[in-house]
């Protein structure tokens, strides 16, 4: 089954058709800069543009950087606040005229990594963390996603953890990479004391620099880079949509 996966990020909205039986992108990835403000209407228009340009007419999975319950957006830390309370699924179904599934972006990454990537066949708890504009968390237990965990918003060192350790600090605020990595290490050790995961998967665009910082991130739990790097949202959104289509 092929599903068109879309990942709405802080700087770009990316999409590609995904073979959900293997997790591979079967055509080029398209990217359109995220509109400013990233309010529902312009973002939905951009999603529609991606789908139309791809000539797509099948099911669509959309990953949003927000808590999503039954297609409804509940939070908006790094997108426009006007998303809160929006029934994203219904609006997208209406706009695209196609079946749509909406999922949190880090949950999508968690699904992709657990199904085809770095957390494949790992038993017990795995925390897939995506470092970008914020920090997203995809919690997976014995291969099953525990949705909407939002571990980027736990209070750490007197602030929300994502203020302390999001990759934005390096990418937009010129924080030294090694210094940032030591903060990530502190944050992971904190999560470790609470959840005792078997594995951390380090995701987000910055995961391509993982080799440079791996030695600085000192934890008892193994930390591995995300297999899908920043394609995880696209792949996971497509897989989630396929799962829903199969259940229905």
Interacting residues with ligand BGC (CB under 6 A) = 65-67, 75, 77-78, 104-106, 130, 132, 134, 136, 150, 152, 162
Q: How far is the CB of 26 from ligand BGC (least distance, A)?
A: 25
Q: How far is the CB of 66 from ligand BGC (least distance, A)?
A: 5
**Nearer residue to ligand BGC within complex by CB, 34 or 75:** 75
Q: How far is the CB of 106 from ligand BGC (least distance, A)?
A: 4
Q: How far is the CB of 58 from ligand BGC (least distance, A)?
A: 26
Q: How many CB atoms lie within 10 A of CB 144?
A: 10
**Nearer residue to ligand BGC within complex by CB, 136 or 236:** 136
Q: How far is the CB of 83 from ligand BGC (least distance, A)?
A: 11
Query: How far, CA to CA in Å, does 225 sit from each of 26, 103, 129, 213?
Result: 23, 22, 10, 11
Can you give the length of the chain in residues? Answer: 248
Rounded Cα gap, residues 43 and 145, in angstroms: 26
Q: Which residues contact 224 (CB under 8 A, 6 or more apart)?
A: 118, 199, 200, 201, 202
**Nearer residue to ligand BGC within complex by CB, 1 or 32:** 32
**Nearer residue to ligand BGC within complex by CB, 56 or 63:** 63
In a 13 Å sphere around the CA of 48, the CA atoms on its Cβ side amount to 14
Ramachandran region, residue 29 (left: φ > 0; alpha: ψ -120 to 50; beta: rest) = beta
Picking from 25, 11, 1, the residue whose alpha carbon sits closest to that of residue 235 is 25
Residue corresponding to tokens 């209406």: 94
- In contact, 3 and 17? CB cutoff 8 Å: yes
**Nearer residue to ligand BGC within complex by CB, 1 or 190:** 190
**Nearer residue to ligand BGC within complex by CB, 113 or 150:** 150
Q: How many CB atoms lie within 10 A of CB 99?
A: 17
Q: How far is the CB of 220 from ligand BGC (least distance, A)?
A: 25
């Amino acid at each position: 089954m092929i599903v068109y996966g879309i990942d709405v990020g802080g700087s770009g909205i990316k999409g590609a058709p995904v073979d959900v039986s293997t997790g591979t992108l079967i055509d080029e990835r398209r990217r359109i800069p995220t509109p400013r403000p990233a309010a529902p209407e312009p973002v939905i228009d951009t999603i529609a543009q991606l789908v139309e340009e791809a000539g797509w007419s099948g099911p669509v999975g959309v990953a949003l950087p927000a808590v999503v319950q039954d297609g409804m957006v509940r939070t908006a830390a790094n997108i426009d606040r006007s998303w809160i309370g929006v029934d994203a699924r219904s609006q997208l179904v209406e706009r695209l005229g196609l079946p749509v599934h909406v999922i949190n972006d880090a949950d999508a990454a968690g699904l992709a990594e657990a199904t085809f990537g770095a957390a494949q066949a790992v038993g017990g708890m795995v925390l897939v963390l995506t470092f970008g504009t914020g920090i997203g968390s995809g919690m997976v237990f014995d291969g099953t996603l525990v949705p909407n965990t939002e571990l980027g918003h736990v209070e750490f060192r007197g602030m929300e953890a994502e203020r302390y350790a999001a990759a934005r600090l390096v990418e937009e605020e010129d924080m030294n990479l090694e210094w940032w990595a030591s903060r990530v290490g502190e944050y992971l050790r904190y999560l470790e004391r609470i959840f005792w995961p078997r594995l951390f998967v380090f995701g987000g665009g910055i995961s391509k620099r993982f080799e440079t910082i791996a030695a600085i991130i000192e934890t008892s739990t193994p930390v591995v880079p995300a297999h899908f790097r920043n394609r995880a949202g696209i792949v996971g959104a497509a897989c989630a949509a396929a799962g829903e289509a199969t259940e229905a």
